[in-house]
Amino acid sequence: MDKTEKLKLVKDTIKNYVNFPKPGVNFLDIFPVFQNTLALKALRDLLLEHVLFLEIDLIVGLDSRGFLIGPLISIEIDKPFIPIRKKGKLPGRVLSQEYSLEYGESTLELQQDSVKEGSRVLIVDDLLATGGSMGAAIHLLTSINVKIVECLVVIEVLKLKAREKFNVPVYSIVQF
């Protein structure tokens, strides 16, 4: 399967739920990709083809679907995976960042000793829509003098123009 076929398979496997979780919101669901091994292998290949030559020290995944994507990359390129979680889910001392979601407010946290100053980081998540969680992660990591090499997402909602809010590179596998 060539790259174009892999992209089509991944995009066609993602489901769109209109008016979920509330009216006016369209939810792009990546879980069907994980339920289809051919689509999952295609996604893994597309992710690896992109990140193979990035100069990074570690991968940071956003709660919660970034936890599915980050380790897929981490084990293949032999770089550590670090989670950024929702408030109250990480033990020990944490750094926190509040942000707005498409449908509410939330807080992200990072264990204080998990990322060293000066590290070159790839941030991964399933979706870039309004940019709230990605922006919070960028702010959290830059506050500890980390170099964000790139933000990598599987799905980007182009009409919301979230990437324009960031001063770091953003790469998306598929766009809606």
pLDDT of the residue at 103: 63
**Catalytic-role residue among 44, 49, 65, 85:** 65
Q: Residue 104: what pLDDT?
A: 72
Q: How far apart are CA 70 and CA 82, in angstroms?
A: 8
**Using N-to-C axis directions, what is the helix angle for 37-51 and 66-77, rounded to 10°?**
60
3-state helix, strand, coil in the chain (%, to 5): 35, 35, 30
Q: Is the distance from CB of 46 to CB of 10 less than 8 angstroms? A: yes
Residue type, 118: G
This prediction's pTM: 0.95
Active site residue 102: yes
Cα angle 129, 26, 51; round to 5: 40
pLDDT at residue 100 in the model:
81
* 10-residue averages of pLDDT along the chain (176 residues): 99 98 93 99 98 98 98 98 98 95 84 97 97 96 98 98 98 99
Determine the Cα–Cα distance for residues 56 and 42; give it in Å rounded to an integer.
Answer: 23
Question: For the CA atoms of the chain, what is the radius of gyration?
Answer: 16
pLDDT of 105: 87
**Cβ-Cβ contacts under 8 Å for 161 (sequence gap 6 or more):** none
- Whether 65 is catalytic is yes
Residue 4 DSSP symbol: H
Among 100, 52, 104, which residue's Cα sits nearest to residue 78?
Answer: 52
Mention every residue, 6+ apart, whose C-beta is less than 8 A from residue 107. Answer: 86, 87, 96, 97, 98, 99, 136
Identified catalytic residue from 44, 76, 93, 102:
102
